[in-house]
């Protein structure tokens, strides 16, 4: 085990998988010579050369399609979106081609591609560069969607994503790249896709949260412990396929659930999680499932407005108190 | 580098065997499409059905210079490309019928034929989207150090799409062994090239991107063969990409929902173009050059009819896919969610 940043963990995952499997290559804008806009691919060009670390022009649809064609014929591309916002330019390639090739070909072809990059709320990047992107992809059968919260998850999940035979949307976060944590150095360390993790054990209420919202919820849980509320935090890690069993299991124990998500709430991840908890664990619930979501507004630039856009600790705490019918809820 | 070619006669390297093969394949595709149209009218085939009638010389001429391990990829008017690459017409027809013995188990349909056994990479129905995918196939060939090529067919309708230009740029920039064959049938659905393109000489875009490009008579199977043959030779030698504009025409409407195809083009134009029927032209040429006899032609015609009848009978007899197949082939392993 070593302590490293989330960024270093991703970099290590890429290196290990590229050393392990010569069919793995990295492609995207500024991934080589520039060493990555967020330095996730730092040093890869030096170690693996331009054949396997491929700088592209600004053509997201084009180079995503290149990745898909290479994947259909036996390679394992890791396509970097400089920020995941740019994946919208390639959404047809991702949704209509990558996700559907296996199905449309009756299983003859598959697309083992990873499309990765940072997404979610960042710091004053404004409406086009600061938004939760997962909702555009987890709706699509054929795609897997990963949101790794910790450096350990970043490494273990990225390695699993690269070895996976299906297209994986792997969305990191600008705000987490410098977060430090324990990361196993064992090159065989993997975290399977589709497994949630209990970040904090508790007995009174289940909070489901990932990425920055998970860290925020952890702080809230600490504060609420002083009020006598015991919060359990479940991080889904993979949004599709989602580990519904673990979430339901936790809710059956605590009888209360709060879903926190950074993205706009309308038809968001929280809607889906709240729906399946209600469908499958209604009789176990002692309170309606609460959602604490990003505001249904584009991301503003002004710092004060930006703060209002994403769920605050106060809003999370208030929701937890409400489902516990506690004071201040 | 870029130039317009005219037919040279006698075409190099055409012997009786090749002439029979080219004619036979065009006849097979023509017959296949005619029977598909019949089946559509009978309700055996649903959805969209885009016929290749009139354009057979492009697929057959291009494929005739490919090796089995070369790749082909196409848009949604792809039955001809798939059959020319060597697919079993029975399984192709069963796919059109949506049956379990179809190439894609009935899950793809007319617009999504795939056949891994002949390196046919589909059947893609978002205009322009498969052009970057073809570039990726070329990227993979080069990455592995192979000497295969990929032929990517698309219509004039894909040219105004951004992905056409992104793909031209990428294959030229990275020197990828991709041969882009534009089947210019003059109409993107109902929109003529004049109404869609600032530059209607599509091959000229090759110049812009520094790609060897030429325009060829797409109704002349030998001319297509020669042009694609030159491109394949270059691509095998040093990964040079190519853009070939094949001047062709579809004799039917855009799809079966546009039966006459006569709102946006005149009946006179259609009749005039039918005089350029690639099958009639090549049959006439091969007979005159004594490459084939009348008997040969009759035999080839009968073979095409028989093989397509067999394909129709096969498709008819094939069962519907079982209900549980709705959820297979979505992921490599069964999905966890219902």
DSSP secondary structure of A54-122: EE--S-HHHHHHHHHHHHHTT-EEEEEPSSGGGGGGGHHIIIIIITTHHHHTTTS-----EEEEE-B--
Alpha-carbon Rg of chain B, whole angstroms? Answer: 19
pLDDT digits (tens, 9 = 90+) for A245-256: 999 999 999 999
Residue B292 has pLDDT above 80, yes or no: yes
Residue B53 has pLDDT above 90, yes or no: yes
Average pLDDT, stretch A163-169?
A: 98
Return the CATH superfamily for domain B13-317.
Answer: Thiamin diphosphate (ThDP)-binding fold, Pyr/PP domains (3.40.50.970)
B241 lies within 8 A of chain A by CB = no
Tell me how far apart the alpha carbons of residues B93 and B79 are, in angstroms, rounded to a whole number: 9
Under the banding of pLDDT at 50, 70 and 90, the label for residue A329 is: low
B107 lies within 8 A of chain A by CB = yes
Tokens of A118: 């940072």
pLDDT digits (tens, 9 = 90+) for B231-275: 999 999 999 999 999 999 999 988 888 876 678 999 999 999 999
pLDDT digits (tens, 9 = 90+) for B88-146: 999 999 999 999 999 999 999 999 999 999 999 999 999 999 999 999 999 999 999 99
Return the pLDDT at B216. 98
CA distance A244 to chain B (A): 9
A15 lies within 8 A of chain B by CB = no
B180 lies within 8 A of chain A by CB = no
- Out of B126, B133, B331, the one facing A69 most closely (by C-beta) is B133
pLDDT digits (tens, 9 = 90+) for A93-116: 999 999 999 999 999 999 999 999
Q: Report chain B residues whose CB lies below 8 A from the CB of A97.
A: 124, 126, 129-130, 133
B85 lies within 8 A of chain A by CB = no
Residue A167 has pLDDT above 50, yes or no: yes
Q: Which residues pair with B4 in a beta bridge?
A: B215
Q: Report chain A residues whose CB lies below 8 A from the CB of B336.
A: 194, 241-244
Q: Report chain A residues whose CB lies below 8 A from the CB of B129.
A: 65, 92-93, 96-97
- Out of B105, B126, B135, the one facing A92 most closely (by C-beta) is B126
| Strand runs labelled E in chain A | 2-5, 24-28, 53-55, 76-80, 114-118, 144-146, 168-172, 180-183, 197-200, 205-208, 231-235, 238-240, 257-264, 290-294
**Active-site choice (A60, A134, A172, A232):** A60
Return the pLDDT at B261. 66
Given an 8 Å threshold on Cβ–Cβ distance, is A109 in contact with B103? no
Nearest to B77 by CA among B130, B123, B15, B9: B123
Task: Tell me, yes or no, if A16 is annotated catalytic.
Answer: no
Under the banding of pLDDT at 50, 70 and 90, the label for residue B338 is: very low
Q: Report chain B residues whose CB lies below 8 A from the CB of A275.
A: none
Q: What is the mean pLDDT of chain A?
A: 97
By the 10 Å C-beta count (0-12 exposed, 13-18 middle, 19+ buried), B322 is classed as exposed
Return the pLDDT at B3. 43
Q: Which domains does chain A have, with CATH numbers?
A: 2-183 (3.40.50.970), 197-323 (3.40.50.920)
Under the banding of pLDDT at 50, 70 and 90, the label for residue B6 is: very low
Inter-residue contact B216 to B244 (CB < 8 Å): yes
A279 lies within 8 A of chain B by CB = no
Which residue of A27, A62, A102 is the best one to mutate when testing the B interface, meaning the one whose CB has the most B CBs within 10 A?
A: A62
What's the ipTM? 0.96
Return the pLDDT at B256. 86
- Coil/strand/helix, residue A140: coil
pLDDT digits (tens, 9 = 90+) for B199-215: 999 999 999 999 999 99
A292 lies within 8 A of chain B by CB = no
Residue B4 has pLDDT above 70, yes or no: no
A246 lies within 8 A of chain B by CB = no
Share of chain A above pLDDT 90, in %: 99
Given an 8 Å threshold on Cβ–Cβ distance, is A97 in contact with B112? no
Return the pLDDT at A174. 96
CA distance B49 to chain A (A): 16
Task: Tell me, yes or no, if A35 is annotated catalytic.
Answer: no
Return the pLDDT at B257. 82
Average pLDDT, stretch A33-42?
A: 97
Return the pLDDT at A170. 98
């Amino acid at each position: 085990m070593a302590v490293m940043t989330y960024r270093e963990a991703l970099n290590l995952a890429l290196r290990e998988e590229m050393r392990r499997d010569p069919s793995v290559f990295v492609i995207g804008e500024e991934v080589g010579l520039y060493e990555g806009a967020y330095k996730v691919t730092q040093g890869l060009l030096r170690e693996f050369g331009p054949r396997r670390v491929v700088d592209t022009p600004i053509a997201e649809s084009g180079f995503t399609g290149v990745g898909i064609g290479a994947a259909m014929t036996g390679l394992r591309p890791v396509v970097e979106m400089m920020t995941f916002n740019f994946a919208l330019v390639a959404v047809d390639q991702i949704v209509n081609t990558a996700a559907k090739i296996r199905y449309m070909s009756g299983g003859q072809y598959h697309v083992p591609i990873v499309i990765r990059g940072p997404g979610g709320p960042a710091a004053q990047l404004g409406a086009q560069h600061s938004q939760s992107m997962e909702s555009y992809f987890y709706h699509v059968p054929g795609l897997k969607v990963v949101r790794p919260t910790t450096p350990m998850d970043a490494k273990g999940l990225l390695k699993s994503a690269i070895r996976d035979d299906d297209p994986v949307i792997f969305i990191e976060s600008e705000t987490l790249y410098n977060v430090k944590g324990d990361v196993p150095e064992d090159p065989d360390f993997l975290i399977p896709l589709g497994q949630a993790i209990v970040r904090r054990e508790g007995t009174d209420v289940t909070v489901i949260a990932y990425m920055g919202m998970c860290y925020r919820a952890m702080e809230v849980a600490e504060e609420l412990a002083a009020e006598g509320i015991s919060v359990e935090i479940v991080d889904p890690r993979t949004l599709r396929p989602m580990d519904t069993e673990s979430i339901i299991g936790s809710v059956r124990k605590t009888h209360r659930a709060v879903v926190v998500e950074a993205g706009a709430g309308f038809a968001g991840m929280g809607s889906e999680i709240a729906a399946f908890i209600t469908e499958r664990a209604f009789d176990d619930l002692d309170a309606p499932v609460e959602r604490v979501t990003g505001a249904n507004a584009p991301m503003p630039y002004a710092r004060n407005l930006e703060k209002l856009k994403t769920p605050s600790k106060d809003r999370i705490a208030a929701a937890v108190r409400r489902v516990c019918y506690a004071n201040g809820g | 580098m870029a130039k317009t070619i005219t037919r040279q006669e006698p075409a190099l390297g055409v012997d009786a065997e090749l002439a029979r093969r080219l004619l036979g394949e065009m006849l097979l595709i023509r017959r296949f499409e005619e029977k598909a149209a019949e089946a559509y009218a009978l309700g055996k085939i649903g959805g969209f059905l885009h016929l290749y009638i009139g354009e057979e010389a492009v697929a057959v001429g291009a494929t005739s210079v490919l090796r089995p391990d070369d790749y082909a990829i196409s848009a949604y008017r792809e039955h001809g490309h798939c059959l020319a690459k060597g697919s079993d017409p029975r399984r192709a027809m069963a796919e059109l019928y949506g049956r379990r013995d179809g190439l894609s188990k009935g899950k793809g349909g007319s617009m999504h034929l795939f056949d891994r056994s002949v390196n046919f990479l589909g059947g893609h129905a978002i205009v322009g989207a498969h052009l970057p995918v073809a570039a990726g196939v070329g990227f993979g060939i080069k990455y592995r150090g192979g000497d295969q090529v990929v032929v990517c067919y698309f219509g004039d309708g894909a040219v105004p799409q951004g992905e056409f230009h992104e793909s031209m740029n990428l294959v030229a920039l990275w020197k990828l062994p991709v041969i882009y064959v534009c089947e210019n049938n003059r109409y993107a659905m109902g929109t003529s090239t004049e109404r869609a393109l600032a530059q209607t000489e599509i091959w000229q875009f090759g110049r812009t991107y520094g790609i060897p490009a030429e325009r060829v008579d797409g109704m002349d199977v030998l001319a297509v063969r020669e042009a694609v043959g030159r491109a394949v030779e270059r691509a095998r030698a040093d990964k040079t990409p190519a853009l070939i504009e094949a001047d062709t025409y579809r004799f039917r409407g855009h799809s079966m929902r546009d039966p006459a195809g006569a709102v946006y083009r005149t009946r006179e134009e259609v009749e005039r173009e039918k005089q350029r029927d690639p099958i009639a032209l090549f049959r006439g040429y091969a007979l005159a050059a004594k490459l084939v006899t009348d008997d040969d032609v009759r035999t080839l015609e009968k073979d095409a009819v028989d093989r397509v009848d067999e394909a129709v009978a096969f498709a008819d007899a094939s069962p519907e896919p079982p209900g549980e197949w709705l959820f297979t082939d979505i992921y490599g392993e069964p999905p966890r969610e219902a």
